[in-house]
Amino acid sequence: MVELKTDTSIDAMYTAGQVVGQALTAVRKAADVGVSLLELDEVAREVLRGAGATSPFLGYRPSFAPVPFPAVICTSVNDAIVHGIPTRYRLRDGDLVSIDCGAELDGWVGDSAISFIVGKPRPADLRLIETAERALAAGIEAAVVGNRIGDIAHAIGTICRAAGYGIPQGFGGHGIGRRMHEDPSIPNEGRPGRGLPLRHGMAIAIEPMLLAGGEDGYHAAGDGWTLKTNDGSRAAHAEHTVAITETGPRILTER
């Protein structure tokens, strides 16, 4: 069931979303060659603590997961697509890093992700990240009253496919509010004009995931959480929490 949020609730979600934005900005600033993924998790924990927010990631255990998620950010490096668990791994020159972060404040949740390069970037990686951001922007632009979920999915998928990238099937965006994952699902590929009509008060996380190798295949790594590309190619992820309003999409996790 899709729960519509009041304008007051959307304002509260914006406040939670700002904490996510601050955490991602701090993590990105701290990410450098030689810095460990666990140290980046600590940076995000500090921002959440300082804001009086809790983490919807920490302890999260969906049905597929062998253990509760042990961190407040997902750190997905190079061929990891999403859901990477922070480890002692120290970032190397040219690593492509995706950071996903959530925050819960006053009972409302925000969810957002960024991808970036540590050290000297390769042109192919910059193109991948730029395309992920462009797909996210197109998805947000399509998140307007009068459109349907398929219009968002189509906008995202068209950009990813035109650039020659793969899309992991079965993973994508979601409704969000008091819980991190609510109805509806927001696929990263679909047919325009199909699916649920978008209404004022819907809050959704839009999150394209792009696979540089062009294949859609992925598998879970040995930790049971991290999704990796089957062909070993790099992946990028971009996400914002967005409210659909009569005056247009409102990004709740601005940075």
For 115, list phi and psi in degrees, rounded to 5.
Answer: -125, 145
Stretch that binds Mg ion, among 49-57, 137-145, 205-213, 246-254 (CB under 5 A): 205-213
Q: Distance of CA 150 to CAs 124, 127, 133, 174, Å?
A: 29, 25, 19, 13
Q: Distance of CA 158 to CAs 163, 167, 194, 235, Å?
A: 9, 11, 15, 17
Shortest separation between residue 238's beta carbon and Mg ion, angstroms:
10
Shortest separation between residue 113's beta carbon and Mg ion, angstroms:
5
d(CA 62, CA 79) in angstroms, rounded, equals 22
Stretch that binds Mg ion, among 30-38, 94-102, 141-149, 193-201 (CB under 5 A): 94-102
Shortest separation between residue 34's beta carbon and Mg ion, angstroms:
26
The structure tokens listed for 131 are 């395309």
Residue with Cβ nearer Mg ion (100 or 151)? 100
Residue with Cβ nearer Mg ion (99 or 159)? 99
Can residue 111 be called a binding residue for Mg ion (CB under 5 A)?
yes
Single residue of 79, 95, 100, 125 touching Mg ion by CB under 5 A: 100
Can residue 104 be called a binding residue for Mg ion (CB under 5 A)?
no
d(CA 231, CA 237) in angstroms, rounded, equals 17
Can residue 182 be called a binding residue for Mg ion (CB under 5 A)?
no
Can residue 125 be called a binding residue for Mg ion (CB under 5 A)?
no
Stretch that binds Mg ion, among 4-12, 96-104, 148-156, 243-251 (CB under 5 A): 96-104
Shortest separation between residue 202's beta carbon and Mg ion, angstroms:
15
Stretch that binds Mg ion, among 13-21, 54-62, 113-121, 162-170 (CB under 5 A): 113-121
Shortest separation between residue 102's beta carbon and Mg ion, angstroms:
6
* Dihedral-angle region of residue 88 (phi above 0 means left; psi in -120 to 50 means alpha; beta otherwise): alpha
Residue with Cβ nearer Mg ion (111 or 151)? 111
Can residue 19 be called a binding residue for Mg ion (CB under 5 A)?
no
Are 82 and 227 contacting, i.e. CB atoms less than 8 angstroms apart?
yes
Site for Mg ion in 221-250 (CB under 5 A): 239
The kind and range of the H/E element at 80 are strand 80-82
Can residue 205 be called a binding residue for Mg ion (CB under 5 A)?
yes
d(CA 176, CA 224) in angstroms, rounded, equals 24
Stretch that binds Mg ion, among 1-9, 109-117, 125-133, 182-190 (CB under 5 A): 109-117
Q: Distance of CA 72 to CAs 65, 83, 102, 181, Å?
A: 16, 11, 7, 16
The structure tokens listed for 162 are 């035109």
What angle in degrees, to the nearest 10, is found between the helix axes of 7-30 and 37-51? Answer: 140
- Given the rule CB under 5 A, which residues bind Mg ion? 100, 111, 113, 205, 239
